[in-house]
Chains A and B, each alone.
Chain A
């Protein structure tokens, strides 16, 4: 269950819920946390769903926030695009408390989006989703020739690489010369 911040959430301490599953035991309300990406849109996510992310799980374990504190301090992921974070949150919610299937067909087919998702998932340390994403990336070049792979993944040719390296060296040389000249000017 994911929703952008609407201000409707059940307050609960951040400690993991460990209530025994007996009929007599009172139901412990689920804890919720808040995350936002580059677009500042806040997503409300349950602690259970966030367990997929080793990074966030580690952060939560050290915090012990109350609902109010969690709301007031959403985890900021400024390096992740809003829609990518939404995808990650959706995936975590879908797979909350469930064993992960061997295949996941709902991953984006658009290559750049997939690469952004890979980077985000790697950063958030979501191992299972990273596995799916890497499989999907590998599938993109199934049966492709070197030229096709170069085109699909925009890999520069050796000649282009060499030219770029030369250009970078030239630029670095010029900058170094400029700095030396400026230093000499200052000394005068």
Chain B
């Protein structure tokens, strides 16, 4: 036997012992791990397993929750899945002021963007600028559908002409006070016809896309007939004698025909490009010749068919508003036949400011400045893909 014959088996035995030891330690480690895991599982099984989630909620609970969400979360949820969309759309949201208007972009003279601005309360506002008319219009349609507005202002130029059909897709529009300006005739009528009952005031501005010749149609709309307050801004003296007087007279005639309630108020601003200061009053007197109770350069009072009610037309005149001014303000009201001259309201500033909030303020540039519409709270980042 050589020493090699002796050493090789010896090394083999040592390697075998070492390998057994390693195996034993591994087995011990695995056993310990299993023990730990079993313990963890046992502990975990004590904690109840909850599997309930949003999808398990009944629709009425989901609606309760949606009712407590703010607008941007609602928009996000309706984008999360089709199944949520109809639920979100069915839940109305109270909006203290909703404004849809266009602004010119500073960078380009001809480009503009549409702004959707919603005020819910003092803390919560949602403002979003759109370059795409389509996206702006789609959001506006959605908001009009779900919103219950205290004040609603729609003010955009002709840019939505292509979508006028779509305004008809919107269900009833729920607003207490509505202001429409800069819209074309079709859009104005589509909006007015969509209004739900309960409109208290309607404010409209004539402009490039909407003319005085639409008055007959406006007066045929029941909301206009029943509104406690409505105003028309920017009437213009036309070349046709009596035309603008007819507009004011038409409103008075509608009130007479409908036996409108005491307190019904109509206001108008007139741009007197022809410098014919007394023209409207003169034409009005001619129109209601047989009904005149009293007439002066400031007031005309006429009888209605109801002996209890008169109609009073006033021109806004004070230290600031002068008789020869190009811009004239008129107010007409259904009053009690018992009302005495001493009870007339000489403070025209209050009612003029209702039409032109910035009129007595020289610093004003445009009416939108009264609201801090551009004070976006970062909400524009939300619901970008809301469509």
Contacts and interface: CB of A to CB of B under 8 A. Distances in A.
Asked if A and B are interacting partners, one says: yes
A156 B382 CA distance: 21
A156 B70 CA distance: 22
Interface string A108-130: 00111101101100100000001
B57 A119 contact: yes
B8 interface: no
A143 B382 contact: yes
A111 B69 contact: no
Given A113-B50, A150-B81, A155-B84, A142 B61 contact: no
Contact of B50 (A112, A135, A144): A112
Contacts of A115: 50, 52-54, 56-57
Contact of A145 (B48, B60, B64, B382): B382
Contacts of B4: none
Given A83-B48, A138-B73, A143-B382, A154 B65 contact: no
A158 B81 CA distance: 6
Contact of A142 (B50, B53, B70, B81): B70
A81 interface: yes
Interface centre among A122, A135, A145, A148 (most CB of B within 10 A): A145
Contacts of B69: 138, 141
B53 A153 contact: yes
Nearest to B64: A134
A157 interface: yes
Interface string B34-54: 000000000000001011111
Interface in B48-101: 48, 50-58, 60-61, 64-70, 72-73, 76-77, 79-84
B169 interface: no
B385 interface: yes
A116 B55 contact: no
Contact of A119 (B56, B67, B72): B56
B379 to A, nearest CB: 9
A24 B184 CA distance: 78
B57 to A, nearest CB: 7
Interface string A147-187: 11110011111100100000000000000000000000000
Contacts of A156: 55, 81
Interface residues of A, number: 35
Interface in A93-110: 110
B80 A138 contact: no
Interface in B96-149: none
A183 to B, nearest CB: 35
Nearest to A141: B73
A146 interface: yes
A137 interface: yes
Given A115-B56, A142-B73, A122 B61 contact: yes
Nearest to B381: A145
B61 to A, nearest CB: 6
Contacts of A134: 61, 64-65, 67-68
Contacts of A146: 76-77, 79-80, 383, 385
Interface string A73-100: 0000000011100000000000000000
A86 to B, nearest CB: 11
B81 A122 contact: no
Nearest to A156: B81
A115 B84 CA distance: 17
A113 B55 CA distance: 14
A148 B52 CA distance: 18
Contacts of A130: 61, 64
A165 to B, nearest CB: 11
Contacts of B70: 142
A145 B76 contact: yes
Nearest to A82: B48
Nearest to B56: A115
Interface of A: 81-83, 110-113, 115-116, 118-119, 122, 130-131, 134-135, 137-138, 141-150, 153-158, 161
Given A130-B61, A138-B66, A155-B84, 10 more contacts: A112-B50, A112-B53, A115-B53, A137-B68, A142-B73, A146-B79, A146-B383, A149-B73, A150-B80, A155-B80
29 contacts: A110-B50, A112-B50, A112-B52, A112-B53, A115-B50, A115-B53, A115-B56, A115-B57, A118-B57, A118-B61, A131-B64, A134-B65, A134-B67, A134-B68, A135-B68, A137-B54, A141-B69, A141-B76, A144-B76, A145-B382, A149-B73, A153-B54, A153-B80, A154-B53, A154-B54, A154-B55, A155-B55, A155-B84, A156-B81
Closest 8 CB pairs of A and B: A112-B50, A153-B54, A146-B79, A138-B68, A115-B52, A134-B64, A146-B80, A137-B65
